[in-house]
Structures are given as structure tokens and as C-alpha cells.
Amino acid sequence: MATFAVSGLNSISSISSFNNNFRSKNSDILLSRRRILLFNFRRRSFYVSNVASDQKQKTKDSSSDEGFTLDVFQPDSTSVLSSIKYHAEFTPSFSPEKFELPKAYYATAESVRDMLIISWNATYEFYEKMNVKQAYYLSMEFLQGRALLNAIGNLGLTGPYADALTKLGYSLEDVARQEPDAALGNGGLGRLASCFLDSMATLNYPAWGYGLRYQYGLFKQLITKDGQEEVAENWLEMGNPWEIVRNDISYPVKFYGKVIEGADGRKEWVGGEDITAVAYDVPIPGYKTKTTINLRLWSTKLAAEAFDLHAFNNGDHAKAYEAQKKAEKICYVLYPGDESLEGKTLRLKQQYTLCSASLQDIIARFERRSGNAVNWDKFPEKVAVQMNDTHPTLCIPELLRILMDVKGLSWKQAWEITQRTVAYTNHTVLPEALEKWSFTLLGELLPRHVEIIAMIDEELLHTILAEYGTEDLDLLQEKLNQMRILDNVEIPTSFLELLIKAEENAADVQKAADEEQEEEGNDDSKYEETEAVKAETTNKEEETEVEKVEVEDSQAKIKRIFGPHPNRPQVVHMANLCVVSGHAVNGVAEIHSEIVKDEVFNEFYKLWPEKFQNKTNGVTPRRWLSFCNPELSEIITKWTGSDDWLVNTEKLAELRKFADNEELQSEWRKAKGNNKMKIVSLIKEKTGYVVSPDAMFDVQIKRIHEYKRQLLNIFGIVYRYKKMKEMSPEERKEKFVPRVCIFGGKAFATYVQAKRIVKFITDVGATVNHDPEIGDLLKVVFVPDYNVSVAEVLIPGSELSQHISTAGMEASGTSNMKFSMNGCLLIGTLDGANVEIREEVGEDNFFLFGAQAHEIAGLRKERAEGKFVPDPRFEEVKAFIRTGVFGPYNYEELMGSLEGNEGYGRADYFLVGKDFPEYIECQDKVDEAYRDQKKWTKMSILNTAGSFKFSSDRTIHQYARDIWRIEPVELP
């Protein structure tokens, strides 16, 4: 319950008098609201500058009648209070009798949104008038987290909002906790996209994000006695105050149907299943800048006239709703299960909806900005499309379809425009994560797009042929197997004819050589002229028959070598399509980008080395240090002399010179201790477990996957627990530092092995946490329903963070950057961004173990040959688990995955057993270091100081310069 100290309201029981009093002051409040909304916003003139040929975009101050300036009034707590009260009364999402926390949150969020709308609209209008080149970031995920604290932090209004809410009887933190996390992402991919949007706005880059507005998101994770259970996420249940539906911005999206060719040769896609994509916009404010960019999310629906009213009135309600439900379910769930044909079809519909609606929107904006003279060759000079992973790949054939079938461009012109426009970010080296779609399914769902993809594939085939020639058909066939977009699909006729002709020419050359050799051998032979004449006719007939057989043999040989195999599936390689069609391909960490070039796309790299780049990921220091860890941020500001580090993270390096300062170390430990207390409260709230704040907080929070090796972590904990049980209480205290081992993350609903790992972790926790002999010396906690808000509590208070994936399998990681930025020490392998983090923070401030990426293939080969000898300690752990000490659940399948030398789901593919001995020895070094708190604190400070490279601002600057070719555009 809240206690108000304004408008004569002293308690919640006086809510009626509050409302009456509030209404009586209506005119004053409306005037105040008008003042807030206007913010002294003055329209002046736009000044339209020329865009230089090098794509530089600069705005100029001008007092002419064609420019404008945006002067923003900075509200105080009084005006903020009036705005919140206004929304509580006039933008009601709740009943008028109460003003409880949920209503306080919505009224507060709506008041912040009002402020953003001014700069949001001005940013959009300025970009339109300036006709700047703009980047469009397409992603299936945007893991935004809560928006309130981030928005008011970026606006610099945390103080006024905190004061205003205090006057209304609430704390800002309590109000902010009412906001559900937007369920628009799963893990690092979506969180990276959100960090990028923050940096784009902060750095004033003209850019937008495009995604889907999932009604239920991924899922809400429950932890029960059976392990992970999934229920629908309800983030939209009470509405979303941050979004604005744009009912005037909608586009048709089509599935199925057929392709017809007109008399002019132009193709048209007709019939099929039609839906509508409607735009929902979310403002993304930059930090201390006038720029507010846009995240446009698409929701799907069906036109009212498609509702079968006749069927409904006849009682066939299911039939009446069928088409409507088909349209709506496209945006129900992020990553629906794809074990079934229906699931695969739904995923493809999602991907195409994102691509089609976004491309139509981008093209409409380009045409509007171009006026009456649309020059399509200028399209890449105004538009940059970035595909975040392979999910948006269909924007390639969709852009080609629109340019050719709708706008009337030739294939050559459309292909050149597309290649100059799109770029691809690769996020994985895992073969199963490089998307492959059924050629048949894609052809049924998107018949025109399969035709266009076949045209791209044909272009690629001719490029490969030009590069490798026809002398060695086996080599050529090997290259096609590695590089084709359409795998195991019939070779196009144009390519086949070239191969047959080349083979025939080779046969003719060979034949001529044979004849020449034969003639030379017969020089000494003399034949009668009459006999030669008699034989001439017979020889010609025989030669004709031989030539016919040779032609047939050539065609059969080519078809045998290059034809599809009847027992192999026909698939479309989406990653290959991205590489072939885009002008840039980038990895997301130095080691990952090298693997992309040397292994994943090596053949393409040899063909087009200029396409490949590295763009090491980053995270926004605003959300992931300043806003989630304000106490440590104040310390950093104090010791570096200003808060410039929030936008110039290089200044974090200045902490290095104070790393040994005892005063700084004391402040640092205090801040970490206070953050640990927040974790203690979170764990109690989420799990019921009570943990000691004096223990080391050891955290692994990320998607549950075998390659991320949560199994290695929990096996290490089991080994630790077993050794504790074998010791006396005195020996335990002497040997082990107290630890709270914290896990968080979701296993995909159909990933059975990952769900077994979750179940095992929770079973170990249930045993260890209730063991009176162990007490506070060891606790194991699985925090359910891990999300951004949970991370914002866990990361600031963590002391050790585990990033222990099998080397060469993690593209980058971004949580490792967040932990390091918050002064948490890392234990990890040389994988992903760990490599660069270790370089920046110093080798002595990173706990390293494990096989390296270049060794992995050889180690797997040794395993297959039966040469691997497991460490006795690893076998000891498995035997201990099999005793049933952690409950009756049968973990044989889990244990079995680590045994044997070959076979799917066996042979320890992720090398848990290989790295286990080094891992537990490295954990001993962690214990040793933690005992010396002065040394540990210094290491913590140096981690923060060395994290400056890993700001998403640096990453976005590199994308803008090297791939998008855009420059900052500041509002005047």
C-alpha cells in the first residue's frame, strides 16, 4: 500500500479524495502536461545538405526557413509528478479507485514515453528530410529487458523520477520491478541486438531495428521436482506501455500460391494464403543525446473480410476462425518446436514475415524519400541491411523479388543492388545451427523465392566453374558439394550443357591425339587407293556411331557425377546464400572470425577474401554497468575523474594506476558486498534457499547447451562435494573456500539432453543444500526463468564467472564481457571473446584451462580410435553419481553421453572428460587466489579496467565504418 504526500492525500483509503482533488485541478495539470509535452519544442527550418560521394552525412546549423532545432526542456520532479498523475487519471489501464504499484508503473512508463515521443518523432522526421543513408538491423530476437530504468537513465532523469515517486509513496526501484521483461529473445543473440540499438542511438547513427512482436516469447521456465517445465510467457498480459501501434503501417505477406509468367516475361506470384503484418514501434533513446531511434516489431493478423461469418453462424466456429488463427499464430511464440512439419512451416513463416514486411517498409521509405525520381541504382547508397544470423536470410530473395517482379528491374540490375545492400553476421560454427531448410517445403511455401534462390545458385555455379575449370571433374564436384546453396538439387541446364560441352571437347582433343598417334604409327604402311575408297563409307558410318556413343557417355558421366543422389535430402543452405549474396560476412570475435575463414566458409573465403571481416561483440556500459551497478559506477566516476567512461570506455583503463590503492580496494569490496546481498535476497525469493554472503559467488548463467558445458561445472561441484564428505570438518575448512554455485538458463523445450542437465543440477542442489555436514561451505542454486532482469542482479554481485565452452564452439559470448566489466573474475577456455578479454585484463587475472581450438579435431579423432584414457577423478565422479546419492532419477543417458568412442549422443563430443582434470586443478587456483582478498580485489579492479574494449559503442562504430558506410547524424 502506498502513502501519498501530495494533493491532500495521506493514505490509500483517501484515494477517492485524491481523484476528486485531482480532477478539480484538471486545468492546472493539463497546462503542466502541455508544458511537459512541448519541452519548449520549437520548429525552425530544415537545412538539407548534400550527401558526399563518400557517404559522409553531416548536418549544418541554419537559420533558414528549411531547418529546425530541438531544444529539450529538462523537467524537474514537480513536472514529472504532474505527468505521472495525469496518466494515472487520463490514460487508465487500471480501475480509478486504486493507485497501487502496477498502476504506478504504467503511469510512470507512459510519462517517460511522452518525453521520448518528442525526440523520437523529431529523429524520424530529420532523417526523412535529410535523406540520409540508414542501416536496418534485422533480427529474430531483441532481448530488451526492462525499459523504465534504462530510459530514464539515458534521459538523465533518474533523480527527478525517484523524487516524484517518493512523493507518491513509492520507491523508483519498487515501481521498476513491476515491469515484465519483454519476451522477445532467448539469449546472447537477442541481447546483443538490444545493446547494438542502444549504441546506435547513443552514437547518433541513423539506424533502425526490425523484429517480430511475439505474444508469448520463448517460454517461462519453472523448476519442479521433474526439472524444467515450460509455460507460456505472459509479458503482454497487461499491455505494453512502451509500444505504439501504427495502424497506418501494414503490409501484405503471402504464402503458397503459384508463379505465373506474363507476356512481357515478368513473373507474378498469385493465389495462396494472405496475411497482414502491422507495425508496433518501440522508442530506443540514446544516452544524453537528442536521438531516439526505432525498433519496429511486426504483428500478424487477417483482414476482417476473411472471417467466415457464414460458417460461424452455421455453428462451424473452428472453420470460421481457421484462417485468422493461422495468421495470428505466426507471432505467438519465439522459436516454436520444429520437430514436426507444422513446426518447421511455422518457423519459415515467421522468418519470411520479418523479411517481407521489413523490406516492403524499407523500400516504401526509400521511394518516399526519393520523390518523383526513383533511381534504384542509388538504393544501396541509402540503405544498408544487416542480417543478424541466418534467420533473416529470406530478405535476399525477397528484395530480388520486389525489384524484379514489382518494380520491373532486370535480374542483373536487381542482383547487383542486392549484393551491395545486404550483409551477414555469422554467430555460430555449430553445423546444426547453420540453417538448412527442406527444398520441397520452401518451394511449397514460397514458390517464387525458390526460383530466385535457384538463379543465385546458378550464378554461383558459373563462378565456381570459372575459378576451377573442368579439367578435374572430381575436384569441381567436391567444390560444388561444399559451396552450393541448393544441396543435392538438379544441376541447372545451362551449367550442365557447359560441363557436357567441356567433356566432349576433352574427348575430341583426346580422339585427335589418338588419331595423330595412329597415323604416325602407320606411316610405313602402304594401302591400295582403291581399297581406301571402298573403306571410306564404312569408316564414316562407324565414326558416327562411335561419336554418338561418346556423346551419350559424356552426358551419362556428367549426370552421374553431378546429379542428385536419390537417398540424400534436398536442402537449401541459408548460410551459403548469405555469403554468396552479401557484400560482407563478419564473425563476432577474433578467434571465431578466423574459424569462419579457415573452416566454416573456407571455400568462399578463398574465392572472396575481401568479404570477410571481424567485428568483436560488445555490450552497452550504460545498462550493464551504470544502471545495474550504480554503486560501483559512482566509484569508477570518482577515481577516473568524471563519468565520461560511459561513452568513452577507454577511460576505464585509468583504474589500472589505482589498482593497489587501499582506499579504492576498500570501496570496491564494499560495493561488491552490497551487490552480493541483493543476490542473497534474489535467491531467497526465487528458490527459498538461504545462502551466506561471505561465500564466494560462483556463477554460470547462459542458455543450457552441451557445448557450453554446464555439465563440466556441475561435475566439478560433485567432485568438490565428494571430497568434502571424505574429510573431517577441520580439513574441509582448511581445504575449501566457501562457495555459492549459481546456475541460470533455459534449455530449449525439445532439447532432451539439456533438460537432463537442468534436472541434474537441481538434484545436486537439493542434496548438497540440505546436508548439515556441509552447511554454508557449499551451496548449489539454479535460479529459475533466467532473463535480463535476473542478470542485472547476478552480474554485479558475482565474483567468479564460468565461460567454459569447448574451445572453438562459442562464437563470442557477451555475458563474459558484462561480468568482466563489473569486476568479476573469469574462469574459462580460450574460446570466443575469452581470448581477447584475457589479453586485455591480463593473463594473471584470468583463470585459464582446457584444450585449445586447434587441438579439438585431433582429440576427437583419438577418441574415435579408442586412445583416450579418462582421468581417474572423472571416473570417480561418474561412479559416485551412479550410486544414487542425488536421488532416484536414472541418469544413465546423461552418463552414457560421456562414454564410448563413437556414436550419436556418445563419445563425449564436447570433451568434458578431457578437460575435467585441468578444470578442477584450475578451481584449486581460484580458491587459493580468493583467500587473499587484497590480491583478489586488485584482480577485480583490473578486470573492470581491461574491459574498455568490449563496449558495443566500439563495435557499432566498426560496423558503421566498415560495413554500413554510414556516419553519425546529430539533431540540431
With a cut of 70, say whether residue 236 has pLDDT above it: yes
Contact 438, 450 (CB under 8 A): no
Q: Diameter of the chain by CA atoms?
A: 132
Give the burial class of 238: count Cβ atoms within 10 A of its Cβ; 0-12 exposed, 13-18 middle, 19 or more buried: middle
Q: What is the pLDDT of residues 588-647, one digit of tens each?
A: 999 999 999 999 999 999 999 999 999 999 999 999 999 999 999 999 999 999 999 999
Give the burial class of 743: count Cβ atoms within 10 A of its Cβ; 0-12 exposed, 13-18 middle, 19 or more buried: buried
Cβ contacts of 148 within 8 Å, gap of 6 or more: 105, 108, 109, 112, 175, 176, 179
Selecting among 349, 703, 709, 759, the annotated active-site residue is 703
Q: Which residues of 435-446 are buried (b: 16+ CB within 10 A; e: fewer)?
A: bbbbbebbbebb
Cβ contacts of 578 within 8 Å, gap of 6 or more: 387, 390, 393, 396, 422, 424, 426, 585
CA-CA-CA-CA torsion for 659, 660, 663, 667, nearest 10 degrees? Answer: 40
Per-residue model confidence (pLDDT) at position 4 = 35
Contact 74, 158 (CB under 8 A): no
Compute CA 790 distance to the chain's CA centroid, rounded to the nearest angstrom. Answer: 19
**pLDDT band with cut points at 50, 70 and 90 for residue 58:** very low
**pLDDT band with cut points at 50, 70 and 90 for residue 321:** confident
Q: What is the pLDDT of residues 815-863, one digit of tens each?
A: 999 999 999 999 999 999 999 999 999 999 999 999 999 999 999 999 9
**Model confidence, pTM:** 0.91
Q: 867 phi and psi, to 5 degrees? A: -95, -10
Q: Which residues pair with 90 in a beta bridge?
A: none
With a cut of 80, say whether residue 791 has pLDDT above it: yes
814 is catalytic: yes
Q: How far from 308 is each of 304, 314, 333, 528, CA to CA, in Å?
A: 9, 10, 25, 92
Mean pLDDT, range 785-808, rounded to an integer: 97
Per-residue model confidence (pLDDT) at position 69 = 58
With a cut of 50, say whether residue 20 has pLDDT above it: no
Q: Which of 673-677, 875-879, 902-906 has the lowest mean pLDDT?
A: 902-906
Q: What is the pLDDT of residues 357-408, one digit of tens each?
A: 999 999 999 999 999 889 999 999 999 999 999 999 999 999 999 999 999 9
**Which of 240 and 68 is assigned the larger pLDDT?**
240
Q: How far from 733 is each of 516, 689, 729, CA to CA, in Å?
A: 93, 22, 6
Mean pLDDT, range 739-751, rounded to an integer: 97
703 is catalytic: yes
Average pLDDT, the chain: 89
Per-residue model confidence (pLDDT) at position 307 = 82
With a cut of 50, say whether residue 12 has pLDDT above it: no
412 is catalytic: no
- Among residues of the chain, what percentage have pLDDT more than 70? 88
Whole-angstrom Cα distance, residue 348 to residue 399?
A: 17
Mean pLDDT, range 291-316, rounded to an integer: 91
Task: Return the closest-CA partner of residue 934 out of 625, 631, 664.
Answer: 664
DSSP state of 31: H
**pLDDT band with cut points at 50, 70 and 90 for residue 544:** low
Q: How far from 361 is each of 235, 248, 296, 505, 546, CA to CA, in Å?
A: 27, 12, 10, 51, 61
Mean pLDDT, range 917-943, rounded to an integer: 98
Per-residue model confidence (pLDDT) at position 70 = 58
Per-residue model confidence (pLDDT) at position 320 = 83
Mean pLDDT, range 581-587, rounded to an integer: 98
Per-residue model confidence (pLDDT) at position 521 = 58
**pLDDT band with cut points at 50, 70 and 90 for residue 304:** confident
Distance, first Cα to last Cα, the chain: 45
Identity (one letter) of the amino acid at 841? V
* Residue 317 grid coordinates: 466456429
With a cut of 70, say whether residue 37 has pLDDT above it: no
Cβ contacts of 541 within 8 Å, gap of 6 or more: none
Per-residue model confidence (pLDDT) at position 522 = 58
Contact 646, 627 (CB under 8 A): no
Whole-angstrom Cα distance, residue 252 to residue 275?
A: 6
∠330-335-337 over CA atoms, to 5°?
A: 95
Selecting among 365, 427, 686, 838, the annotated active-site residue is 427
- Hey, is 213 helix, strand or coil? coil
With a cut of 60, say whether residue 470 has pLDDT above it: yes
Task: Return the closest-CA partner of residue 81 out of 180, 4, 12.
Answer: 4
Whole-angstrom Cα distance, residue 731 to residue 617?
A: 44
957 is catalytic: no
* Residue 289 grid coordinates: 543525446
Q: To 10 degrees, what angle do helices 952-959 and 188-202 make?
A: 80
Per-residue model confidence (pLDDT) at position 696 = 98
Per-residue model confidence (pLDDT) at position 43 = 32
Containing 298, the helix (H) or strand (E) segment is: strand 292-301
Selecting among 428, 762, 806, 814, the annotated active-site residue is 814
| List of E strands, 784-915 | 800-803, 825-828, 846-848
With a cut of 50, say whether residue 648 has pLDDT above it: yes
Containing 150, the helix (H) or strand (E) segment is: helix 148-155
**pLDDT band with cut points at 50, 70 and 90 for residue 512:** low
Kind of pairing, strands 486-487 and 571-573? antiparallel
Whole-angstrom Cα distance, residue 591 to residue 752?
A: 30
Q: To 10 degrees, what angle do helices 662-687 and 630-640 make?
A: 170
- Hey, is 75 helix, strand or coil? coil
Task: Return the closest-CA partner of residue 716 out of 876, 585, 488, 944.
Answer: 876
- Hey, is 335 helix, strand or coil? coil
Contact 254, 444 (CB under 8 A): no
Whole-angstrom Cα distance, residue 379 to residue 411?
A: 15
**What is the secondary structure of 340-384 as a DSSP string?**
SHHHHHHHHHHHHHHHHHHHHHHHHHHHHHHTT---GGGHHHHEE
Per-residue model confidence (pLDDT) at position 17 = 45
Selecting among 133, 818, 914, 949, the annotated active-site residue is 818
Whole-angstrom Cα distance, residue 197 to residue 953?
A: 10
Kind of pairing, strands 258-261 and 739-744? unpaired
Contact 652, 948 (CB under 8 A): yes
With a cut of 70, say whether residue 63 has pLDDT above it: no
Selecting among 87, 484, 592, 708, the annotated active-site residue is 708
Q: 157 phi and psi, to 5 degrees? A: -120, 20
With a cut of 60, say whether residue 72 has pLDDT above it: no
Q: Which residues pair with 267 in a beta bridge?
A: 261
Compute CA 388 distance to the chain's CA centroid, rounded to the nearest angstrom. Answer: 6
Per-residue model confidence (pLDDT) at position 897 = 96
Per-residue model confidence (pLDDT) at position 93 = 83
**pLDDT band with cut points at 50, 70 and 90 for residue 96:** confident
Whole-angstrom Cα distance, residue 172 to residue 104?
A: 10
Selecting among 213, 484, 702, 803, the annotated active-site residue is 702
Compute CA 339 distance to the chain's CA centroid, rounded to the nearest angstrom. Answer: 22
Number of residues assigned to the chain? 972
**pLDDT band with cut points at 50, 70 and 90 for residue 664:** very high
Per-residue model confidence (pLDDT) at position 550 = 54
Q: 338 phi and psi, to 5 degrees? A: -115, 30
Whole-angstrom Cα distance, residue 198 to residue 211?
A: 15
As a whole number of Å, the CA-based R_g of the chain is: 32
DSSP state of 842: -
DSSP state of 248: E
